[in-house]
A and B are shown apart, each in its own frame.
Chain A
Amino acid sequence: MNQTVKILKYTARDLFRSRILILYTLFFMLLWAGLFYFTNDATKVSISLIHVVTAVIPLVSLIFGTLVYYNSSDFILFMITQPVERRSVYIAMNTAVSLILSVSLLIGLGLPSLILGTVSMIPLTLLIIFTSVLVTAVFSNIAFFAGAVSQDKVRALTFVIFIWLFFAVMYDGIILFITVYFYEYPIEIPVLIFSALNPLDLARVILLLHIDHSALMGYTGALYKSVFSGALGMGAAFLLLLVWFTVPFLGGMRVFNRRDF
């Protein structure tokens, strides 16, 4: 653990100096400020932001995570030759990516909220930031998993872009197809299970359950609300998102520990 923290300190220092992060922070600051500029309705601003959170954050986390993994391949190789556990190198690098993206989000979303937001918006803003951090960690873990599994950067990038397309774009279409095709059958529970398999659906459900905007919740969100009450639904979605955090993380670490470099 001690070794992990030491490596994390230096890898985070390296990544904090990256210009991409400044752009990422500025993007959220401008977006947040822009949304406030166009409307003063806090709910509308939050809903617009939720769509961005569930589209941009996973894409950036996946691509940035994958690029960091492959751009650090010589460093990773060198670190493995040092008296350090492979596990420590993996945990430190993976955590560094999640950490610096999360700090960017915290500044990019938090600072405009402090300046432009109202007191009533604080709980929702905190929830958006918290969920965004969790989504960042989930998708950074998937990026590192892809890096650990494939030695080929292009193949790993193709895989993570497909993952993003699948969860952010195709998944809702598949659920819609299933619900339309099997509308005569009791498919609520299968659809609920199906939505739990998509971390972005889970993040969306958490945020929309808080806003309680049923029109935007979609089929799966409405199902969550009917099966669980608001708080229970959010808790269940959080737990499932934690499973999404854990599985790629442990899977990636297992592969990394055993693979050839």
Chain B
Amino acid sequence: MIAISHLNKSFGKNHILKDISAQISPGAITAIAGPNGSGKTTLMKCLLGLLRYDSGEVFISGHNISLSSAYKKETGYVPQQSALPANLSIEDMVSMLMELRDATYSRYDDLVALLHLEGQIQKKSSSLSGGTRQKAGLLLGMLFHPSVLILDEPLSYLDPATSVVVKEELLRMKENGCTVLLSSHNMHEIEEIAGQLIYILEGRIHFSGSPVQLMEHHGTATLESALSHVLKNHYESNRQNLKIYRA
């Protein structure tokens, strides 16, 4: 469970996140979407403890993340870019994480098989392809049965077959009560697996609900069309406001 309350974050004079409040329920896949520069990466970084927010509160699995880092034990993170150092293998990285967490049990074997990484785990990271590195990122994020899984564009470099496997795995984790939060630009992907959508525009939550709800509201058959309506309306209303302001 992730609870965000009145979250604000600025970089200098740029107010990036403006009073963000949201509840991300366990047992659901929630997608964060929005145009470039809307603030979705900033929001995810705040949740991961990479950015210190100016005001507001974030609770992950009941822990206030600005007061305790205990939530990190229960949180898995899958970055878009590989986090593997050039001369370490996937196996090295797994060993390090296991040692750091004093873990005796993980999903290592299961995930290696699931992601078809058998021949790759001992190779130096610099010799792995972009797709394999993304699979390694997925493996590291899912390794310790996280109760919260945060993924940044998790399927962007994957081949269609692996993409299907990963989507199925995310749905299975959701069924087991995991809170899955992912950011994506691929609306088809969101439509397929996400039960909830948080759409951010200019640092504010513009829509929060199910993708189906949004499509019905705009009378469109796809999420992509619904969101293009949202954007069009938003920019139109901005133009109107500017005209009123100038007048």
Contacts and interface: CB of A to CB of B under 8 A. Distances in A.
Interface of A: 3, 6-7, 9-11, 13-18, 71-72, 74-75, 77-85, 258, 260-261
Interface string B89-121: 000110111011100000000000000000000
Nearest to A15: B87
A14 B88 contact: yes
Interface-centre pick from A3, A10, A13, A261 (highest chain B CB count, 10 A): A10
B5 interface: no
B50 A14 contact: no
A261 B88 contact: no
Chain B: interface residue count, which band? Answer: 20 to 34
Interface string B140-173: 1000000000000000000000000000000000
Contacts, number: 75
A80 B79 contact: no
Contacts of A72: 85
Contact of B87 (A7, A14, A74): A14
A74 B101 contact: no
Contacts of A18: 87
Interface-centre pick from B11, B83, B87 (highest chain A CB count, 10 A): B83
Contacts of A13: 87-88, 92
B79 A261 contact: no
Nearest to A260: B51
Contact of A7 (B70, B100, B140): B100
A70 to B, nearest CB: 13
Interface of B: 11, 45, 48-52, 69-70, 72-73, 75, 77, 79, 81-88, 92-93, 95-97, 99-101, 124, 140
Contacts of B75: 81
Contacts of B84: 75
Contacts of A10: 85, 88, 92-93, 95-96
Nearest to A261: B50
Given A74-B79, A75-B83, A3 B100 contact: yes
Contact of A14 (B11, B48, B83, B86): B86
B220 to A, nearest CB: 36
A74 B83 contact: yes
B101 A83 contact: yes
A83 B82 contact: no
A16 B69 CA distance: 32
Contact of A261 (B11, B51, B85): B51
B181 to A, nearest CB: 13
Nearest to A88: B100
A125 B95 CA distance: 39
B85 A258 contact: no
A75 B217 CA distance: 42
Nearest to B99: A6
A81 B77 CA distance: 7
A60 B50 CA distance: 30
A82 B51 CA distance: 14
A119 B186 CA distance: 70
A258 B49 CA distance: 11
Contact of A11 (B72, B73, B82, B85): B85
Contacts of B95: 10
A20 to B, nearest CB: 11
A11 B92 CA distance: 10
A79 B97 CA distance: 9
22 contacts: A6-B100, A9-B96, A10-B92, A10-B96, A13-B87, A14-B86, A14-B87, A72-B85, A75-B84, A77-B50, A78-B77, A80-B49, A80-B50, A81-B49, A81-B72, A82-B72, A82-B100, A83-B101, A84-B72, A260-B45, A260-B51, A261-B45
